[in-house]
Every structure is written in C-alpha cells, then in structure tokens.
C-alpha cells in the first residue's frame, strides 16, 4: 500500500479499495516501525485518526476533494493548533501553537490527514539535519549518512514511504537539497506564492514553503492547495494560481533549457556530472533545445547568502527571550541575566553562530562593508538570471555538488557544510522557483538530483518538465532496499 503514489491513493480511496482510516493506520504503523530514522518529532495519532474519519465521511457523501484522506507530515516550523511546534530547538521544546499556519489550514480544508511534525535543523539552519536538538535524522538510503537539511525529516519520511507527501521550507536549498539526497521530487515555488503566516521565520526575505513528494504529479497537486493570496502575510502575492495538474501533459518540444557553465565546476562529483549529462539527453529527446548560458555572479551566492540570511536571523530570533513563550532558564539573577542565560541554554551552536554573524554584519562600522555590499551583490545575481532567461525558458543543472555525506563528516567545518548550497542558494536570492527531481545514482547507490530553475511565478513549466522527465525515466520509482 505504501509504495503507491499520492495520485494512486486518491484513486483507490474514491474507488473504495480501502478507507482513509485504514490508510492512516497503515502509515502510523510504518512510522512506529521505522522510528530509528528519527524523522519525526511529534506523532499526531489522535488528530490523524479524527481527520481520517471525517475524510471517510466526506467520501461517503461524495463531497471529497482530490486530496481528501491523503496522509502527510508537516515540517516542525509550521504552527499547528494544539500541537507541539518546536523548530527543532530546545527553546521551543514545549511550545504548543494556539493557531494553524495558513499552509496547515489550507491543507486541512483540502481534507488531508496530518500524521505528525518532522525533525529538522534548528530554526531551519543547516544542510544536513544534524543541528536538531532532537538528534540527527538518518537517510533511508544509508542510515550512516545525512538526509540533507533543513527539511531532512520531511525528506526521510517520504523517501522511506512513511507518508506520501510532506511540507518543507527552503531558505537556501532546504527542500531541493534533501530531495536530491533522498531521491525525491522537491519544489520551492517563487517567493510570495505560498503564505508565510504561521511559518516561523529564519530569513524573511528568503524563506518559502514548498513540497516534498515522490513525483512531480504529486507535488503539483499539493502545491496547488498550498498556494494563494493571504491577507495576513504582507509578502503574499495576489496572482492567480495556475492549474498545475492541467499543464503537466504539455509537450516540451520547442522549449529551451539553459546549461550554466558555472554549475559544472571542478567541485562537482563525476558521477553527478555524468548523471546530469544523461538527464539533459533525455530532455533533448523530448524536444528541448539546450543552450549554454552564463551566471557570472552565482559563485558568489554562498558568501552573499551567509551575510544576508544570518542578518535576518539575528533580528527574527530576538523574540525568543524566555519572557512570553518557550524555554526559560531557572538560574538567573536579573532580567538581563535571564535573557542571556535562556538564549545560551536554549539555542544550539549553529543558531548561535549565525546570530553572531548576523549581529556583526548589521553593526555600526560593518553595515556598509558587509550587509549593503551583499544586497548589491544579490541584485547582480538576480540580474544574471533575468539576462539568462532572455535566452532560455528553464535552467538545468545539478542540485548538489555531492551526494549524501556521512553523519559527522562536515560537522567541524561550517564552510564546507555551507558549500552544499552552492547551486541552490542563488535561486532564493533571486526569488525564483526551483525543482529537484531524481536523475540517477552514484557509485555508492546514493540518489542524484537534477535541478530545474524557472522564471518568476513559472512553477508550471518546472512541474511540466519534471513530470515529462519522469514519464521517460524511473529514478523516482526506486525505494530504499530495506523499506519496500
């Protein structure tokens, strides 16, 4: 049952092959069976069964929507009413949200069933899911390796077939990179396409919610329900949400794909380069014309990102002070000491590092030298993409320079860890949509991701290309050996 796609589950539920309640029990049992992955922080069994019963009632009345009764998990920074929302941090270890994030509310209204909240890098800061207060998540393809981050828990759940789909967030690659590491389809839509209300902020100008699924078809169905204008989010766009599913079958003939030479540097693993070259041949077979393009400033995206994102984080995380909610130290002498000790005990090492960097670059005497310069560079990166899209409709290349690495392998070298986002962070800086789809395996049997980048608000083309690619390949259909 768990090997079926979201679309196949929806068909089976409508035909009465099994009930939503039976499907929910099946996935809850699988989650408990594979708890060694440490992929979930909270299992919402009671809520899930209540939602499943309501979904069965909607199906019986012929009032079901396409996603009614489909189980999912949420990344644990989407506020969920009456449920723990921890952000993978000690400082929110016992925080129960009093309201639902817009994404959660919209998917609840669509009739989906929430199985739980997934493990993640603390406050979405990380590329390996080793920075969680609740411990690292294991990659289902090799439990000694990382699943990627910060949405690593969501990726591990879907890759292990513990749920058909998961929500995630992407600030510099945190959906696409774990999708690549775990052999999944992961999409980060354009900035503003999905409401950030109730999505606890890391870097407000970069964060965007998205989907991790097994196929582009499944991702399109969920993305459509997540998207849309929200008056409670000032960055939310009022643009009409396209019918993503209707566009999936559009032929690719005549489309132009840009291949940036900067994405094929000496740092790319040879197995990945070979897999991407083979994937490009598939696209050419489907009628896509490939042209070489330049993104001259994209190699500067990592230093640019790691100035701007920490700067925004230092501001956003100032609210966690032990006064209003969350963890508060029991050992302090006065208010100032309470602030300092609470944050010292409540935040992990990576979060503290980024707060310190962010505070430094925003400080007097360094603001112009670092923050303002990074903002100017961000504009140049965005202009590079605008110029590139004058020559092509989409941009393709590797999602990551390497496949999943061993747990602990890069923990002592933050810069080496940050370089995992070399091909993804520029997309966030420019506010563009990005999709990662499975494109092969390396010599160790680890998944490889093909990244497809689109024009602003053109998620449709990415999903169309991803779907057509998956109609002619079977990389997305592979399941970790011991989890079938």
Contacts of 256 (CB under 8 A, 6+ apart): 288, 289, 290, 291, 391, 392, 393, 394
DSSP 253: T
Could you say which of 89, 97, 132, 150 is catalytic? 150
Name the token pair of 17: 């092959």
Could you say which of 174, 195, 426, 460 is catalytic? 174
Residue 288, judged by CB atoms within 10 A of its CB (0-12, 13-18, 19+), counts as buried
Could you say which of 75, 117, 188, 410 is catalytic? 75
Q: Long-range contacts of range 369-377, CB-CB < 8 Å, 24 or more positions apart?
A: 370/307, 371/307, 371/308, 371/311, 373/307, 374/303, 374/304, 374/307, 374/308, 375/308, 377/297, 377/300, 377/304
Q: Answer yes or no: 127 catalytic.
A: no
Contacts of 200 (CB under 8 A, 6+ apart): 77, 78, 79, 85, 87, 123
Determine the angle formed by the axes of helices 20-33 and 6-15, rounding to 10 degrees: 140
Q: Answer yes or no: 75 catalytic.
A: yes
| R_g (Cα) of the chain, nearest Å | 21
- Residues paired with 194 in a beta bridge: 227
What SS3 state is found at 209?
A: strand
DSSP 371: I
Q: Answer yes or no: 425 catalytic.
A: no
Q: Are 242 and 201 in contact (CB under 8 A)?
A: no
First to last CA, the chain: 10
Which are the catalytic amino acids? Answer: 75, 150, 174
């Amino acid at each position: 049952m768990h090997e079926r796609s979201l679309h196949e589950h929806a068909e089976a539920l409508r035909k009465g092959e099994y009930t939503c309640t039976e499907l929910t029990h099946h996935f809850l049992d699988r989650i408990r069976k594979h708890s060694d992955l440490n992929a979930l922080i909270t299992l919402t069994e009671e809520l899930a069964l209540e939602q499943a019963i309501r979904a069965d009632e909607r199906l019986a009345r012929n009032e079901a929507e396409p996603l009614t009764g489909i189980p999912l998990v949420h990344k644990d920074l989407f506020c969920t009413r009456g449920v723990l929302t921890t952000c993978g941090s000690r400082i929110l270890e016992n925080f129960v949200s009093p309201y639902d994030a817009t994404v959660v509310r919209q998917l609840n209204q669509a009739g989906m069933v929430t199985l739980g909240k997934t493990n993640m890098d603390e406050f979405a800061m990380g590329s390996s899911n080793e920075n969680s207060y609740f411990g690292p998540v294991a990659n289902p393809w090799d439990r000694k390796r990382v699943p990627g981050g910060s949405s690593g828990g969501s990726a591990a759940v879907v890759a292990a077939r513990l749920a058909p789909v998961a929500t995630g967030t992407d600030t510099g690659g945190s959906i696409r990179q774990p999708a690549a590491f775990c052999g999944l389809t992961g999409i980060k839509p354009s900035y503003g396409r999905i409401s950030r209300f109730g999505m606890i902020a890391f870097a407000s100008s970069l964060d965007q919610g998205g989907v991790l699924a097994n196929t582009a078809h499944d991702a399109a169905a969920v993305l459509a329900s997540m998207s849309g204008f929200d008056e409670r989010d000032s960055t939310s766009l009022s643009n009409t949400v396209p019918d993503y599913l209707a566009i999936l079958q559009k032929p690719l003939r005549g489309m132009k794909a840009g291949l940036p030479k900067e994405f094929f540097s000496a740092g790319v693993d040879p197995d990945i380069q070979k897999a991407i070259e083979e994937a490009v041949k598939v696209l050419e077979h489907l009628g896509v014309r490939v042209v070489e393009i330049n993104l001259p400033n994209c190699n500067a995206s990592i230093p640019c990102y790691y100035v701007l994102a920490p700067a925004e984080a230092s501001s956003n995380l100032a609210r966690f002070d032990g006064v209003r909610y969350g963890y508060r130290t029991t050992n302090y002498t006065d208010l100032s000491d309470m602030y300092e000790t609470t944050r010292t005990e409540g935040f992990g090492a990576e979060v503290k590092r980024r707060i310190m960097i962010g505070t430094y670059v925003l400080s007097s005497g360094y603001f112009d030298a670092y923050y303002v310069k990074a903002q100017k560079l961000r504009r140049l990166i965005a202009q590079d993409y605008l110029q590139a899209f004058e020559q092509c409709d989409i941009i393709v290349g590797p999602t990551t320079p390497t496949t999943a690495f061993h747990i602990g392998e890069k923990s002592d070298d933050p810069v080496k860890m940050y370089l995992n986002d070399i091909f993804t962070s520029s997309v966030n800086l420019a506010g563009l949509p990005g999709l990662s789809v499975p494109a092969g395996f390396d010599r160790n049997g680890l998944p490889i991701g093909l990244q497809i980048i689109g024009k602003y608000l053109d998620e449709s083309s990415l999903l169309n290309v991803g779907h057509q690619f998956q109609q002619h390949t079977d990389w997305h259909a592979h399941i970790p050996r011991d989890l079938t």
